[in-house]
Amino acid sequence: MYSIGVVGDGFGPKLTTLEHKRPSPVRGIPGTVVQIATSNSDTYALTASGGVWAWGAGSTGQLGDGSTAAFAAVPHQVVFPSGVRIVRLANPMPYNSALVIDATGHAWGWGFNVAHTICLPRSQVLVPTKLPIYGVTLASGAGDHSLFYAHHRVYACGLGKDGELGDGSTVVSARPSPVVGLPGGRVTALVSSWQGSGALMANGSYFDWGFNRGGQLGDGLRTNSDVPVRVPLPAPVRQVFQGGSKPDNGQTLALLTDGSVWAWGDGSRGQLGIGSTLSRSRPVRVNFPSGVRIEAVASGGDSSYALAVSGRLWSWGGNDYGQLGNGTTSLVLRPERIAASFQRISATATNVAGLKLVS
């Protein structure tokens, strides 16, 4: 079975809201956890039976239990209508809200919705509610917008002031709006961050759009784009993750098919892993010690993570809340191995969760 470990700012396994500077186990979820996802304020777990569990802040309904409780420090089950089985969590989750996909391809959402973040008309949604889109296979959210892949197209809803909806506008969209300008072909991953969005194509090409003041789009410019732009990289992308949770920050990590890791965007907290606090508007390579092979990458508000094939976790960047998991709150400018092993990891803002296999 799997166990979950949490680190950083947020709500851990005890009745506390203190930061955890090293991974701490989360208990109380029955069954086998198969996926985890974080938002800026909560953590979510999906079990093999299709159950969803949530813990963290709840003041905007993000726990999905019908309440606006200040927080839940232990996992609470999210209740869906009879017969609904959830098969996928959005990763990451939108600001103070949640997105999931059921076995029939319908998307469900709950929580904060002031800017129509989860494509619904009212400002706060306290229980899981079916969204006006179906045939969904992928979802992602961060900031005040959400992304979906359905019927061979990418859709977005929510705030669009920096072009993060990718529909050629900078307005709010209350319903899923098609992203324009992506090439034909299958999308294999959606990623999002504070006012940024991205899509990975099956051929390994990666496109992003939205906020770009710190070079977040990786195109060598610092002007926003309301349509997708292709990021120039030396090999096809195998896996990608965006980070960023407040104005002016945001960075992307990409793992390429040749095993190399590249980063671009804001580097003011060392989150690019290049030994400095400089920002880069074009991809730069992140170096690891000889023999270390990276399997997956993740990125939070101003911190970054990589999982080695061995399962060992590497982290770097901002660490004000202990989110790097090394027992300190010190800034780290290059990848540093920590004393933890995971199979999967999710990071948003300063909230980090890892999933590991245990006997």
- Dump pLDDT digits (tens) for 209-262: 999 999 999 999 999 999 999 999 999 999 999 999 887 789 999 999 999 999
Residue 116, amino acid: H
Q: What is the DSSP string of 314-351?
A: EEEE--TTSTTSSSS---EEEEEEEEEE-SEEEEETTE
Closest alpha carbon to 318 in 95, 8, 18: 8
* 117 φ/ψ sector (left φ>0, alpha ψ -120 to 50, else beta): alpha
Residue 14, amino acid: K
Q: Which helix (H) or strand (E) holds 217?
A: none
Structure-block tokens of residue 163: 């072009």
Question: Sign of the C-alpha dihedral, residues 180, 214, 148, 199?
Answer: positive
CA 164 to CA 116: how far, in whole Å? Answer: 14
Q: Which CATH number fits domain 1-30+252-359: 3.40.190.10, 2.130.10.30, 3.30.1330.10, 3.30.300.30?
A: 2.130.10.30
**pLDDT at residue 18 greater than cutoff 70:** no
**Domain residue ranges of the chain, discontinuous segments joined by +:** 1-30+252-359
Closest alpha carbon to 206 in 221, 218, 195, 196: 218
Convert the pLDDT of each residue in 106-157 to its tens digit. Answer: 999 999 999 999 999 988 999 999 999 999 999 999 989 999 999 999 999 9
Convert the pLDDT of each residue in 164-223 to its tens digit. Answer: 999 999 999 999 999 999 999 999 999 999 999 999 999 999 999 999 999 999 999 999
Segment 91-97 mean pLDDT: 95
pTM, rounded to two decimals: 0.94
Burial of 291 (0-12, 13-18, 19+ CB in 10 A): exposed
- Residue 2's pLDDT band, with cuts at 50, 70 and 90, is very low
Residue 189, amino acid: A
Structure-block tokens of residue 19: 């930061």
Biggest CA–CA distance in the chain, Å, is 53
DSSP tag of 224? -
CA 56 to CA 71: how far, in whole Å? Answer: 5
CA 107 to CA 317: how far, in whole Å? Answer: 33
